[in-house]
Structure 1
Amino acid sequence: MRVGLISDTHGLMRPSVLAYLAGAEHIIHAGDIGGADILDALATLAPLTAVRGNNDHGPWADALPERITLELAGVRIHVLHDIAELDESVDAHAVICGHSHQPRAETVSGHLQINPGSAGRRRFKLPIAAGSLWIDGHGIRHEIHTFEPD
């Protein structure tokens, strides 16, 4: 199963990122979405799980949780916007976050933590990025993919 990972779009849905996420069986957005239109575009590709980021406001954002744990193909995935707010007692195989705009993946306290980076407006000299998580009988694999500005 391929899970598309995206964060920090801040109202900008790049065609190249949509093309990268096409074919995912599920998509996770880790907050700072920027508008319901972003969620609508992603939901046309695959079932979508999204959390509210610190810059998401209004009725559309109020309906989103601040954090959520879901299970996909037998793997528990915890999603929140800011990793600094992670409760260390969370029981998950993987944690997906955003906020920093810095793509990274590392194992911390026994679970994989992935920040797919920012797929929206470029911040400083940080790359434009999104990611994928593959879940299969061999475990979890991940990728962070960077994009040229559109």
Structure 2
Amino acid sequence: MKIVVISDTHMPKKAKALPHQVVTELQKSDLIIHAGDWQTVEVYHKLLQYGEVKGVFGNVDSDEVSSLLPEKLIIEVEGFKIGVVHGHGKRWTTERRAVEAFSETPVDCIIFGHSHIPVLKVVNGVLLFNPGSCTDKRRQPKPSFGIISVNNGLHAEHVFFEKE
């Protein structure tokens, strides 16, 4: 199973369309996960053209997006539990807020966004994954998104690309 993971698309403010590198992978995906800051519901509908979409709302999303999506969710994929949360808030770091969001519920992986900083590491046996942003790289060298492969385990990787 191939999961494409994106976050912080901030469309249409930061981009009018998804980069072609992302679209190419979306066309080959089994599931799409968005970790918030879509900005408008049109991004959700655009992603639905490529397949099943799961996601959460972020701190800059429209009322329409936040009424459509939860603040956090757990997705079960081939026996693995994947927690998804945007990670915004006032206390701690983005990463710590993401981990704290699932402190009461055991998960195998936590996907989060908000910081636009790609993260891939294992902490206390939990895979922590922030795909970065494919449309608003901020101070990162390149835009990015993620791919998680599920095959007798979870394998996550970042895809970094040159801005179009």
Same fold (TM over 0.5): yes
- Matching residue within 89, 102, 119 for 2:117: 102
Runs of 4+ in 1 over 6 A off after TM superposition: none
Structure 1 unaligned residues grouped into runs of 5+: none
- Matching residue within 20, 36, 43 for 2:41: 36
1:141 has 2:155 as partner? yes
Aligned-residue offset at 1:71: 0.3
1:50 has 2:55 as partner? yes
Quick one: distance in 2 between partners of 1:46 and 1:63? 17
Three-state SS of the structure 2 residue aligned to 1:10 is coil
1:16 has 2:14 as partner? no
| Residues 118 and 127, structure 1, Cα contact 8 Å, conserved in 2 | no
Aligned-residue offset at 1:98: 0.4
Three-state SS of the structure 1 residue aligned to 2:47 is helix
Quick one: distance in 2 between partners of 1:109 and 1:89? 14
Aligned-residue offset at 1:14: 2.2
Structure 2 unaligned residues grouped into runs of 5+: 88-94
Q: Percent identity?
A: 31
What is the number of residues matched between the two proteins? Answer: 149
Out of 43-52 and 86-95, give the one that drifted further: 86-95
Residue number in structure 2 paired with 1:122: 137
Q: TM-score, normalised by structure 2?
A: 0.85
| Residues 85 and 111, structure 2, Cα contact 8 Å, conserved in 1 | yes
- Matching residue within 57, 75, 85 for 1:80: 85
| Residues 41 and 64, structure 2, Cα contact 8 Å, conserved in 1 | no
Aligned-residue offset at 1:127: 2.3
Three-state SS of the structure 2 residue aligned to 1:105 is strand
Out of 112-121 and 55-64, give the one that drifted further: 55-64
**Paired residue type of 2:86:** H
Q: CA RMSD in A?
A: 1.4
Out of 104-113 and 84-93, give the one that drifted further: 84-93
Residue number in structure 2 paired with 1:59: 64
| Residues 101 and 126, structure 1, Cα contact 8 Å, conserved in 2 | no
* Larger proportion of strand: 1
Quick one: distance in 1 between partners of 2:7 and 2:151? 23
**Paired residue type of 2:145:** A
| Residues 18 and 42, structure 1, Cα contact 8 Å, conserved in 2 | no
